[in-house]
Amino acid sequence: MLIVSNLGDEKSPICGSCNRLGRTCKWGLRASFHPSRVTQLSVSESKNLQEVELGRQHQNALTFVDETEKIEHEYTGPDETSVQHDSSPRAASDSTTEGILPSITEERHTRTSGAENDYHTGPTGGGLLQRGPEAYVNFETLLHPRPPPIPNPPIYTSGNNTSVVNGSFQRERSENLPDNLLEEVVSWPVNDHFKARLLSSYFQDASRWCEMTDSSKSFSTLSSHLIIESPTFAAAAAALASVMVTKGDELSVLLADELYVFARRTLRGLELEHREGRFLATTILCVYCSALGKTAEGQFTLHECAELLQAHSLQNATNTVRTACFWVFVRQDIWASYLAGRPTIIPTESWELGQPDSNVPIQDSYSSLAIWITARIVNELSKQPADINSIKLQNLWAELQLWVIERPLSVRCVMEIESSGDSPFPTILFSNPSAVCGNLYYHTACILLLTTGLLPHQSSPMASPICHARRIAGISITNNDHANLVNNIHPLCVAARQLPGAVEKIAILKHLGEIENRTGWKTKRYILELEKLWGLR
């Protein structure tokens, strides 16, 4: 019995080479035959086959029939003899150059050079007989009418994607500036690809740092067009985004500083720029200084921003962008004032609190109210101990308790879970950044008042600084969005000083380190201060 080991798969033949190499065969089996098995035509058979093929070629030969005159008479009529057809190339050229219609060559030249030409088409039928010889139209135009010309669209080139700060654009708006200053303004320190990455990061992440109590998103969605219209806004936005884009890079500080210097130079050189762009740019640079811990530069920028805000009717702040810039500014100024032991640059008496309406969401208004109360507490504590008014502090405490009782549902937490084995802090979840910001400022303000020792003794659990400190940490860890994290740094530092347990202290230090790793905001110096306070260094 014969056993065949290599059976086919009944799908395709496989050549021997591919089979040996273990490859997938693309061509299949290559077959060849012995010459003795090849059938060939005889001489007579080949001659007969050639004659058959020649006959087929004669039968399929095509001939061209010229019916031009017949078609011409169908259009012009038997009595019209003025329109004549001349088949010579010279005649066709003459009929075109007489101004009746531009030639195909001229049309191509016109479309290439971008010149504007008018195309005129004469009427058909008997109307030609009534117009005179100058109105006669070549019959080719009637057979193949040309469509009306299409205006040449602008050609997109790489030059259309140049820097946001355009030299010619700035010369029109800053004619009084010297040429050397203009050259400095238009020269971005990074190429277009990296600039696009910076601006993309600004709209996705960095802009949200400024929109904690701004549900209308004045720094991103509402002002996105200003990236094109305002070079100062674009430069400041790129500088702020560099804090996050270059985090963890050894050269990050150098590049971020270079972008900041460029933004400052642009802001100084384009003082005539429109107001909204300057508001946004100056405010963003304040946030930049806070992010990188530039204390001296930050103080100068804060004063510059305060002058700009006060110069444009702060108490009657109806402009959405100006109002948004104001609340970003005061959040930076409150903590700069607290650390320096000074009052806020803009007195709290001149602040204008927006009332909840269709344009101002209620969560934004209530969060701004908590910020305002905190600023007044900081201003009172900046005085000499003998000058601090205990009655005023008690009134501020009463305002805080009224705030937490009357806050609307959108400012209340969605869920609160007491601390468990996984975390030493409670889980407190909020639905929006404004609610996070408002409640953080409430708990921070309570700690500032309770640690003065000037309030009457109370038995309520909320009269304990430790209780408020644990809630600040729980809110920050639970609502760990970028927009929340960068605004939680100073409240966390205030809360950390009240925590008694070692586990809680380690958790706070770890959380501050995570904020820097995720956002690029410098928290190292605050970590070092706390470690020295707790004897860990």
Residue 383 above 60 pLDDT?
Answer: yes
Which comes out higher in pLDDT, residue 18 or 7? 18
pLDDT number for residue 61: 60
pLDDT number for residue 147: 60
Whether residue 200 is contained in a domain is answered as: yes
Whether residue 431 is contained in a domain is answered as: yes
Per the structure, the count of domains in the chain is 3
Helices (runs of H) and strands (runs of E) counted in the chain: 23, 2
Asked if residue 395 and residue 510 are part of one domain, the reply reads: yes
Asked if residue 534 and residue 410 are part of one domain, the reply reads: yes
DSSP secondary structure letters along 485-527: HTTSHHHHHHHHTT---HHHHHHHHHHHHHHHHHH----HHHH
Query: What average pLDDT score do residues 463-484 get?
Result: 93
Whether residue 10 is contained in a domain is answered as: no
Asked if residue 108 and residue 199 are part of one domain, the reply reads: no
Asked if residue 482 and residue 408 are part of one domain, the reply reads: yes
Question: 136: closest CA among 154, 157, 149, 120?
Answer: 120
pLDDT number for residue 274: 67
Percent of the chain with pLDDT over 70: 66
User: What is the residue range of 137's domain?
Assistant: 93-148
- 361 pLDDT band, cuts 50/70/90, is confident
Q: Hey, is 396 helix, strand or coil?
A: helix
In sequence order, the 6+-apart residues with CB closer than 8 A to the CB of 181 are 269
Asked if residue 261 and residue 323 are part of one domain, the reply reads: yes
pLDDT number for residue 304: 93
533 sits in which H/E element: helix 524-533
Q: In this predicted model, what pLDDT tens digit does every residue of 228-279 receive, in sequence order? A: 888 999 999 999 999 999 886 656 678 889 999 999 999 888 766 667 888 9
pTM over 0.85? The answer is no
Whether residue 159 is contained in a domain is answered as: no
Q: In this predicted model, what pLDDT tens digit does every residue of 508-523 receive, in sequence order? A: 999 999 999 999 999 9
Whether residue 48 is contained in a domain is answered as: no
Asked if residue 257 and residue 109 are part of one domain, the reply reads: no
Distance CA 76, CA 413 (A): 87
Asked if residue 324 and residue 386 are part of one domain, the reply reads: no
Residue 156 above 80 pLDDT?
Answer: no
Q: How far is CA 343 from the centre of its chain?
A: 37
Asked if residue 141 and residue 213 are part of one domain, the reply reads: no
pLDDT number for residue 250: 59
- 488 pLDDT band, cuts 50/70/90, is very high
Distance CA 223, CA 484 (A): 21
Asked if residue 181 and residue 274 are part of one domain, the reply reads: yes
Whether residue 443 is contained in a domain is answered as: yes
Q: Which two tokens stand for residue 528?
A: 């070092």
Q: In this predicted model, what pLDDT tens digit does every residue of 170-190 receive, in sequence order? A: 444 444 445 554 444 458 888
Residue 66 above 90 pLDDT?
Answer: no
Asked if residue 219 and residue 135 are part of one domain, the reply reads: no
In sequence order, the 6+-apart residues with CB closer than 8 A to the CB of 343 are 337, 378, 379, 382
Asked if residue 521 and residue 483 are part of one domain, the reply reads: yes
Asked if residue 440 and residue 497 are part of one domain, the reply reads: yes
Q: In this predicted model, what pLDDT tens digit does every residue of 35-57 receive, in sequence order? A: 655 567 777 888 888 887 777 66
pLDDT number for residue 80: 47
CA-to-CA dists, residue 340 to 373, 497, 508, angstroms? 19, 18, 23
